[in-house]
Amino acid sequence: MARYYIADLHFYHEALNDRMDCRGFASAEEMNEYMITRWNARVRKNDEVVILGDLSMEKATLTMDVIKRLKGKKMLIEGNHDRYLREATFDRSLFEWIKSYAEMHDNGRKVILSHYPVFCYNGQYKLTDKGKARTYMLYGHVHNTYDEALVMKFQKETRKQSRPVYGRDTELSIPCNMINCFCMFSDYTPLSLDEWIEVQKKREAEV
């Protein structure tokens, strides 16, 4: 069993093909089929996928049709566009759970899960004995917009800062490990935490 993460798929959101994301598909139907194919090429029946919000822009019936075609055990962090959840006809049992915020463990590391970026997240300062991060903040919502550029800038500036630590003569740099699991950053494929860390490293190197 593996665990994967992904955000802001926006099934059925026609406007994202020529505005904001400029995804470039000929239609929402073409986009939907591509995203389903990418998902199912990676995810197996017993794998877990945490969706960090904004799964679908459609109403309950069509959204349920998509969810049933996606492999794996699906967990949802509710996003601002997941309005189908308010419909009485939506079958919530299609998800293992639905939450607005969650904290989980992934191979000895804590993951903070929110649709929205959390700048001062729980466990931010915790490091391993070798100085590696023990906590990662995973989010969505901002896609690849100016807001995401500001989040990246915030992380860079935060890591330049240092703070006093009780019992130490020298100050320590402030860790900040926030990862936008935006679907376009992974070509619409759910990725593991380690894979998202590598995606983040490459993105930061390009800034």
State how far the Cα of 59 lies from the Cα of 64, in Å rounded to an integer: 9
What DSSP character marks residue 122? T
pLDDT reported for residue 163: 84
- What are the Cα distances from residue 152, in Å, to 145, 148, 155, 190? 11, 6, 5, 21
Determine the straight-line distance between the first and last CA of the chain, rounded to whole angstroms.
Answer: 34
Query: Check: CATH 3.30.70.100 for 3-206?
Result: no
pLDDT reported for residue 207: 79
**What's this model's pTM, rounded to 2 decimal places?**
0.96
Q: Which residue in 34, 10, 17 sits closest to 187, CA to CA?
A: 34
Q: Residues 4-27, buried b or exposed e (16+ Cβ, 10 A)?
A: bbbbbbbbbbeebbeeebebebee
How does pLDDT run across 157-189, given as a tens digit for each residue? 999 998 887 777 888 889 999 999 999 999 999
What is the residue extent of each domain of the chain?
3-206
Considering just the CA atoms, what is the radius of gyration of the chain in Å? Answer: 18
Q: Token pair for residue 149?
A: 């550029």
